[in-house]
Each structure stands twice: as C-alpha cells, then as structure tokens.
C-alpha cells in the first residue's frame, strides 16, 4: 500500500476480507491460522449464525478464543456436535459445506493449488505440508476461498509444480468432466494486493477489487500469467473500527496470527 498508511496490518486486513466473504446461516470448513480468524470475526459480527466446522470433528462451536489447531478442545466449545473426521468429510462429500478456506504456496490461473512440493516431486527444492483435508475441501465446497498472503510470480504461476487441490483444472467444464460436483470450486482469492474471482466463461482468474493504494500494475507484476480486468473494478472495503476492536481484543488478543 502506498498512500495514507492504514491503521491495520496486512494480516488483519486479510482476516477482515476473509470474514466479509462469509454469509450468515452458511457452513464453513476452516483450517488453522487466518481461516479460523476470519470465521471467528464473521461469527462475532455480521454472521452470528455461521456454522463453523473443523476437520477433527467439531461442528458449530462458539469459539471463546483462538484455538491453536483444528483438533484442540476449544474447537468443540459449546458446539452442536463433537464427531469425527470421517463424518466431517462425509458431510463435505454430501454437499453440506458452503464455504471452504485454503492457503496456497502456488496457484495457477484456474485456481489449481500446490501445497505439496516446490520443484520436482522426488527431489524437491522445498517439501510442503501436503494436502491434509485440502483436496476434499477444494473438491466439495460450493465456494472455495483461497488466501495467498504473498502474491508474487513465484506464487501465481503458469503451472503448479504439483496439483494438490483441484481448482477449475483446465477451464470451464473441466471439473465436471473429472467427476467433481457441479456448482463447486474456487470463488475468491485474497492476496495482499487485491481480491480475485473467476470469469464465468473460462474460469480464469480476474481481479474483482484492488486494496486501497494498490494498482493494476502491481497485480500484474506479481503474477506469471495475465490478470484479467473486469469492466467495473472496485476498491476493497476497509475494516470498520468495531471489526478491528473485536479482532484484536476478542479473536486474537495475543496476536498469534494477526501479529502485534
């Protein structure tokens, strides 16, 4: 950001943008870090009936504070059901998950994600955490939200080194041909530069909004593939003071994820 220094840091902003992407009375499958933060913020503000689901089996918790993993006791606090990973994945496969949240070490123009290795699979430059439940989340969520905190030519790539989680594969219709459910797939990509969506006709990435102070030139300079631009380009919203207060005082008061 180059103008008018904001009163929030980039991780707070990404959490806020993730939160406002979530609707009330929907189900969201969250992972550790910013996805939990975003879901908690949404539940404490505009989406009090948001149903949060964790891979380890917690469904519908009212989180008192930030859990450090998706399997610790607080992910079941005042929850509706304490069940198993098998049931969570079965619910996902049955189409009960509205939103999924994932990160990405690499992503291509169709929202295909690599979180397995950088470089050759057998002799990688970097070995990453792998899929976990990410392939399931990406396969079955109706609207997948991807947070890529460091958009660059190394993260927005022409071809992922390893396909961990299917996005739109090679474009419109490819998911369905591969056997994945209709009306599922990547919905939004949130980076430090802007918020992106996918063109309906081709399922290629296009920018939806630029963050205050950011430019189209910066968006393109930090991508290995062309960024499509819509006729109407919006400015990303800025967090209201009450959202920042809740984020800092109630959701992550120790600054474990959002920093200090």
- Token pair listed for 32: 């550790």
Alpha carbons 226 and 18: distance in angstroms, whole number: 24
Structural contact between residues 116 and 187, judged by C-beta atoms closer than 8 angstroms: no
The whole-angstrom distance between residue 34's C-alpha and the CA centroid of its chain comes to: 8
Bridge pairing between strands 194-198 and 205-210? antiparallel
Alpha carbons 99 and 114: distance in angstroms, whole number: 19
Which are the catalytic amino acids?
55
Centre a 10 Å sphere on the Cβ of residue 224 and count the other Cβ atoms it contains.
Answer: 15
Structural contact between residues 64 and 74, judged by C-beta atoms closer than 8 angstroms: yes
Alpha carbons 42 and 58: distance in angstroms, whole number: 18
Residues 6 or more apart whose Cβ sits within 8 Å of residue 2: 213, 214
The whole-angstrom distance between residue 250's C-alpha and the CA centroid of its chain comes to: 21
Alpha carbons 135 and 248: distance in angstroms, whole number: 32
Centre a 10 Å sphere on the Cβ of residue 150 and count the other Cβ atoms it contains.
Answer: 12
**Collapsed DSSP state (helix, strand, coil) of residue 70:** coil
């Amino acid at each position: 950001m180059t103008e008018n220094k904001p009163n929030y840091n980039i991780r707070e902003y990404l959490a806020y943008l993730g939160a406002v992407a979530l609707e009330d009375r929907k189900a969201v499958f969250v992972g550790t870090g910013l996805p939990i933060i975003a879901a908690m913020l949404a539940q404490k503000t505009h989406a009090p009936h948001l149903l949060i689901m964790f891979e380890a089996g917690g469904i519908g918790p009212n989180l008192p504070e930030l859990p450090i993993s998706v399997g610790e006791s607080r992910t079941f606090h005042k929850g509706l059901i304490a069940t198993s990973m098998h049931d969570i994945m079965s619910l996902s496969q049955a189409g009960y998950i509205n939103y999924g949240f994932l990160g990405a070490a690499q992503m291509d123009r169709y929202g295909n994600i690599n979180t397995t290795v950088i470089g050759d699979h057998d002799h990688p430059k970097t070995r990453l955490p792998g899929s976990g439940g990410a392939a399931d989340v990406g396969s079955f969520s109706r609207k997948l939200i991807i947070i890529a905190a460091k958009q660059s030519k190394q993260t927005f790539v022409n071809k992922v080194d390893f396909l961990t989680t299917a996005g739109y594969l090679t474009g419109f219709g490819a998911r369905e041909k591969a056997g994945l459910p209709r009306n599922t797939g990547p919905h939004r990509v949130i980076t430090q530069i802007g918020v992106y969506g996918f063109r309906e006709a081709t399922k290629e990435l296009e920018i939806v909004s630029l963050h205050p102070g950011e430019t189209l030139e910066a968006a393109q300079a930090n991508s290995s593939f062309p960024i499509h631009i819509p006729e109407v380009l919006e400015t990303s919203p800025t967090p209201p003071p009450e959202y920042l207060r809740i984020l800092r005082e109630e959701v992550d008061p120790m600054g474990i994820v959002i920093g200090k």
